[in-house]
Amino acid sequence: MRKPMIAGNWKMNKTRDEAINFTLGVANGLPLNVECVVCAPFIILRDLVKRAPKNLKIGAQNMDYHESGAFTGEISPIMLQDTGVEYVIIGHSERRSYYNETDESVNLKVKKALEFNLKPIVCVGEVLEERESGKTEEVLAKQVRLGFEGVKLDEPANLVVAYEPVWAIGTGKNATSQTAQDACKFIRGELAKIFGQSKADEIRILYGGSVKPENIKEYMANEDVDGALVGGASLKVDSFLALCNYKN
């Protein structure tokens, strides 16, 4: 009942021309039974929304939680809504570590995104030291509890959570399939405490961290892993198509 999702996070990559070429490259190869998304830099979102094939959804990688005002360099939910994007990544570990994002700012952003009909892809995940000291569940529970505190969720299918262990991002050291399943299952249990079991059962939970065409199938075979949030391997047409077509 949860539609699988493959979401590319392009991070700070691609010019407008490169992005447009990507949409042309994937146009005829995307499956209908998997939700395919790319989350791109702000400046090319409008072009992507205009040119993306019907079954390629577009998302942003961040947003401010204020609606407008004196916040130099920031992008508001109103502006994102105006571009026509459907998704927005919130609380990526790179934003948390390089730009001081906290569970509290994640919470404000999630609320604002939903208010403006943007579907949040909320990232959680532990750093290596936390995993090695046995604190993974404690960290995930806190990120989920604070991140979703007071969030009103009418449409659980509009919320996506991404489990991205920080030690697996861009390192080639992907989590094992079992590790991803255990964490995603744990996160679903925490979501159930906040939203109730039936809503938690509708929320999609993605795994992210060194996902490639060679390992996507193992992750997708798990009960609680509903998709992947992919960095490096989402940048090339061929590998993005291979990821989205993991069923074939």
Active site residues: 92, 164
**Whether the Cβ atoms of residue 110 and residue 88 lie closer than 8 Å to each other:** no
Beta carbon nearer to ligand 13P, 187 or 195? 187
By beta-carbon proximity to ligand 13P, the closer residue of 122 and 153 is 122
Task: Choose which of 180, 231, 239, 246 interacts with ligand 13P (CB under 6 A).
Answer: 231
Helix axes 177-195, 136-147, angle to 10 degrees: 40
Binding mask 141-170 for ligand 13P (x = CB under 6 A): -----------------------x----xx
Does the footprint of ligand 13P cover residue 9 (CB under 6 A)?
yes
Q: Which stretch binds ligand 13P (CB under 6 A): 52-60, 133-141, 149-157, 229-237?
A: 229-237
CB of 215 vs ligand 13P, minimal distance in Å: 11
Which of 107, 136, 143, 210 contacts ligand 13P by CB under 6 A? Answer: 210
Q: Tell me if 211 contacts ligand 13P by CB under 6 A.
A: yes
* Helices 16-26 + 237-244 axis angle, to 10: 40
Name the residue among 71, 69, 138, 150 with its Cα closest to residue 104. 150
- Amino acid identity of residue 108, one-letter, is L
Q: With CA atoms as reference, report the closest residue to 139 among 148, 156, 127, 154.
A: 127
User: Furthest-apart CA pair in the chain: how many Å?
Assistant: 49
Q: Please state the φ and ψ torsions of residue 184, each to the nearest 5 degrees.
A: -65, -40
Q: Read off the tokens for 193.
A: 């405490």
Comparison of 170 and 196: residue with beta carbon closer to ligand 13P: 170
Comparing CB distances to ligand 13P, the nearer of 124 and 200 is 124
CA distance 117 to 87: 9
Residues 6+ apart with CB under 8 A from 119: 59, 86, 87, 88, 113, 158, 159, 160
**Residue 124 is a binding residue for ligand 13P (CB under 6 A):** no
Residues that bind ligand 13P (rule: CB under 6 A) add up to a total of 14
Residues 38-97 that bind ligand 13P (CB under 6 A): 92
Comparing C-alpha atoms, which of 171, 168, 200 is closest to residue 184?
200
In the bound state with ligand 13P, the residue whose beta carbon lies nearer, of 95 and 111, is 95
Binding ligand 13P (rule: CB under 6 A), the pick from 184, 230, 241, 244 is 230
65 with 109: CB under 8 angstroms? yes
Of 42-50, 63-71, 75-83, 207-215, the window that binds ligand 13P (rule: CB under 6 A) is: 207-215
Which residues contact ligand 13P by CB under 6 A?
9, 92, 164, 169-170, 208-211, 229-233
